[in-house]
Amino acid sequence: MSHVVLALGLVLAVEGLVMALAPRRIEDALRLIASLGIDQRRMIGLVALALGVLVAWLAGPF
């Protein structure tokens, strides 16, 4: 359970850092994402999910 809390804290820290350092880039990225079709967004989400699971699997002793 502590690993989950640690991972959540790291995600929040990185997201906060990006929002603090480059808020205009975030707006540009959100506009780009909004311009994509639903299927393209779904595919990007699935690829990100697969990469996240792969990284976690390679990094941790599962």
State the pTM of this model.
0.69
- pLDDT tens digits, one per residue of 3-61: 889 889 999 999 999 999 999 999 999 999 999 999 999 999 999 999 989 988 888 77
d(CA 46, CA 48): 5
pLDDT, tens digit, 9 for 90 and up, residues 43-56: 999 999 999 899 88
- Measured N-to-C along each axis, helices 23-35 and 2-21 cross at an angle, to the nearest 10 degrees, of 100
- pLDDT band at residue 1, thresholds of 50, 70 and 90? confident
Give pLDDT, residue 62.
Answer: 58
Quote the pLDDT of residue 36.
96
